[in-house]
Amino acid sequence: MLRPWILLVSAPLLAGACNDQPPLLAPETTVLEGVNLHLSVSLFRGLSDELVVRLAAPDSTVIPSSVLADSVLVVNGHETWAAALTETLPRLPGYAVFFVNEGPPWPVGSIVDVFVTVRDGTHRRLLEAPRQEIMIVW
């Protein structure tokens, strides 16, 4: 489901994503529920197309269950792709992993900018993983 706020952030993202430098409109790190969080993203095409979002706490702090990555916006030049994220794996100390099983439509080797909304019970933050390559996996 496309959320209305994604449309609000997509216009400035498109304007900055058309050059060779990442737009860096959002940080790769934030603090929620007192935990330092770092965003990392992997995009795969192959037998299954997936987008994997990892929130990591560098000191292996347990990430509270109230902290979620709930949506993703992927920018490739003038094109965008958005999806809701789901959490299907149990959390390990220092990690929370979220997935989209039908990833963005662009070919292997495409370089994209990925924006992820993370939230807790009262706060919402936009994080960015710039210049991510869509990789192949068999």
From residue 87, how far is each of 22, 29, 91, 104 by CA, in Å? 27, 19, 9, 18
pLDDT digits (tens, 9 = 90+) for 29-48: 999 999 999 999 999 987 77
Q: What is the dihedral of CA 126, 11, 2, 71, to 10 degrees?
A: -20
| CB of 9 closer than 8 Å to CB of 99 | no
Structure tokens at 52: 């994997």
- Taking domain 4-137, whether its CATH number is 2.60.40.10 is answered by yes
SS3 85: coil
Q: What is the pTM of this model?
A: 0.81
pLDDT digits (tens, 9 = 90+) for 59-88: 899 999 999 999 999 999 999 999 999 998
Residue extents of the structural domains in the chain: 4-137
Phi/psi of residue 10, each to 5°?
A: -70, -35
> Can you tell me the distance from the alpha carbon of 72 to that of 114, in angstroms, rounded to the nearest whole number?
7
From residue 55, alpha-carbon distances to 67, 92, 97, 131 in Å are 9, 11, 6, 18
Query: How does pLDDT run across 100-116, given as a tens digit for each residue?
Result: 988 898 999 999 999 99
